[in-house]
Chains A and B, each alone.
Chain A
């Protein structure tokens, strides 16, 4: 006779913690660190683009093209792109975790967030590093006016 009698008021089951890297902790730390760095990057970006020199009226295709030939601004913009998109994506993942109760909706929403973040990061990085305002062999009427001066 080995009948197991269930203990009265059986405790609610809580899944044991999985071993390995704790992504929740690193996600939490990432949000704080990237937030501080982004404050500097974004306000620096706004200050240079909208305030310095002629201010906002200097902003045009040539201004952006000029900035993207400078390695300093290329690194600045890529950093801003990666940090901001991952920061925003992780924040939206947190909201989904908090408010999406069905596993299916949760999965779809998280997958959509991940996909949009990945696409934007890849496209943005590609643009910053391969941008050429005056591609060789393009018809002259499609090029900005400063290309003829080169």
Chain B
């Protein structure tokens, strides 16, 4: 015998949603001479991200809106953009953390050639990255012929700079990079730091020499914009300072 029980149907509490105004800096190279701002009203939840807002615009309002995104989870580093004047990943910026009583301003990162809407030419950025030899150079034979063993402390030395996802948020927040595109920029120096302080690497002297340049670490003005912009929380300015110290010592 079963006892019939009446369970009230589960009615989930309605999640409040908000109308958010997004001001997006649009640029179509085939039509426009100059970029211009366009506003969109989007219905969003507090848990949505700026990337969700951009998706809603692209999928429901204006299919011509162009932006980069791949993983949408803060790892691939393709959707760095300037949100309310600060370089952020669109996929890591929640609507609840923004002041939605005012429009949310979204534009492409600065200092790199604008291609369309929120897309910039990343080639100069990657060129600086390539120039610092961002790969392990181990020309000597390993000690016991097998592995290059590293202590916990040796690994810890460069742990912070291994987190870089090459989103260019730091480099495109640097005022020196804005006015001088020849400057290597924080991201390239961070990735050089990752190998300079790696005990298994043999090419630290070459990288230090590359960065000991007029367009190298000495252009850094320690404004901390890069540290503030990094979505991975890397202490970028500290890493640059450590590379400066290493250049003065002549070794890592």
Contacts and interface: CB of A to CB of B under 8 A. Distances in A.
Interface stretch (B42-50, B59-67, B208-216): B208-216
Given A28-B218, A99-B179, A17 B127 contact: no
A25 B212 CA distance: 7
Contacts of B219: 24, 98
Contacts of A97: 180
Interface in B212-227: 212-216, 218-219, 221
Interface stretch (A8-16, A45-53, A70-78): A8-16
A28 B212 CA distance: 11
Interface residues of B, number: 24
Contacts of A22: 212-213
A78 to B, nearest CB: 28
Interface in A88-146: 94, 97-99, 101
B24 to A, nearest CB: 28
A24 B218 CA distance: 6
Interface in A1-57: 9, 11-12, 14, 17, 22, 24-25, 27-29
Contact of B124 (A12, A17, A101): A12
Q: Is the interface of B mostly helix, strand, loop or mixed?
A: helix
A12 B131 CA distance: 10
B179 A101 contact: yes
Contact of B127 (A11, A28, A94, A101): A11
B247 interface: yes
B127 A24 contact: no
Nearest to A14: B131
Interface in B87-137: 123-124, 127-128, 130-131
Given A14-B131, A24-B219, A25-B218, 5 more contacts: A11-B130, A17-B212, A28-B244, A94-B221, A99-B179
Interface of B: 123-124, 127-128, 130-131, 175-176, 179-180, 182, 209-210, 212-216, 218-219, 221, 244, 247-248
